[in-house]
Amino acid sequence: MTEAQAARLAIREKRHAGSTRGLAPGYVQCNLAVVPQADAFDFLLYCQRNHKACPVLEVCDPGDPEPKRLAPGADLRTDLPRYAVYRSGERLPDVTDLRALWRPDLVAFLIGSGITFDDALERAGVPTDRHRWVVRSTLPTVPAGRFRGDLIVTMRWLTPQQAIVATQVSSRFPQNHGAPIHIGDPAAIGADLARPLFGPPVERVPEGLVAVFWACGVTPQQAALDARVELLLAHSPAHGFVTDLKADALAVL
């Protein structure tokens, strides 16, 4: 059994209930978004048009909870530790099992997560465990049907040398957000540091460090939320899906 399979089994059997960050390092982790089939075309189109934020790695057939290509035998209803549930844009309490909510018309999307290149960054000497936020920007995404909204970004504070290396390393993962979308002044992209979606509020980038911004996989989830789709099932933040795919297998050169 690989580390990835062992991680999923531990989650399914409720032996692992916390974040998937650091779990099965080197394997691709995915964000999950499940929408009714009626919204699936527009949602897939939204992801295609905003590929850096929404790198779709697999779309299951309607009603099928098994990601046959990324993790044959897995079940997306039980193999993530925690799920967020939204009805018409309203967040309900998190759940740890989707089976009671599953329907034959639901379409599951697995979207590449930035967690995937954390391992490659660490190997290249770029720390990934601190100085990291998820914030809103005012850069518009390209709409598709009902789906639209501003780009949500991951911000990391790095030394100039780390910023260069992180740009090189992340560029090699075009299926996982790829290269940064901005370096430097947070205000230039309207990054809302005062009210981050993840991480404590901050005021300014410390002297000697540079802010580096990547398109974030929370973007499509927020767009689905704002569209008030009738039902949206998603991973709870930092509680992603561990696939059988090695991150290095997705790297370019």
Residues in 62-91 at the binding interface with a copy of itself, rule: CB under 8 A: 69
Residue 170 CB-density burial (10 A; 0-12 exposed, 13-18 middle, 19+ buried): buried
Stretch that binds a copy of itself, among 77-85, 112-120, 169-177, 194-202 (CB under 8 A): 169-177
Stretch that binds a copy of itself, among 14-22, 53-61, 129-137, 147-155 (CB under 8 A): 53-61
- Which of 174, 190, 196, 237 touches a copy of itself (CB under 8 A)? 174
36 binds a copy of itself (CB under 8 A): no
Residue 121 has φ and ψ, to the nearest 5°, of -65, -45
Shortest CB 225 distance to a copy of itself, Å: 21
Q: What is the CA radius of gyration of the chain?
A: 17
Q: Per the structure block, which two tokens stand in for 118?
A: 């954390």
> How far, CA to CA in Å, does 105 sit from each of 31, 165, 229?
20, 44, 14
Shortest CB 59 distance to a copy of itself, Å: 6
Shortest CB 44 distance to a copy of itself, Å: 5
12 binds a copy of itself (CB under 8 A): no
State the DSSP H helix or E strand holding residue 87, giving kind and residue range, or none if neither: strand 83-87
- Count the residues of the shown chain that bind a copy of itself, applying the rule CB under 8 A: 21
215 binds a copy of itself (CB under 8 A): no
Nearer to a copy of itself, 1 or 253 (CB): 253
CA distance 179 to 52: 9
Shortest CB 144 distance to a copy of itself, Å: 8
Residues in 107-166 at the binding interface with a copy of itself, rule: CB under 8 A: 142, 144
Q: In the chain, what is the greatest distance between 2 CA atoms, to the nearest angstrom?
A: 54
> How far, CA to CA in Å, does 146 sit from each of 40, 43, 59, 142?
11, 9, 19, 11
- Which of 33, 56, 70, 151 touches a copy of itself (CB under 8 A)? 56
59 binds a copy of itself (CB under 8 A): yes
Shortest CB 57 distance to a copy of itself, Å: 9
Residue 106 CB-density burial (10 A; 0-12 exposed, 13-18 middle, 19+ buried): buried
CB 110, CB 47: distance < 8 Å: no
CB 236, CB 18: distance < 8 Å: no
249 binds a copy of itself (CB under 8 A): no
40 binds a copy of itself (CB under 8 A): yes
Which residues sit at the interface with a copy of itself, rule CB under 8 A? Answer: 40-41, 44-45, 48-49, 56, 58-59, 61, 69, 142, 144, 168, 171-172, 174-175, 178, 252-253
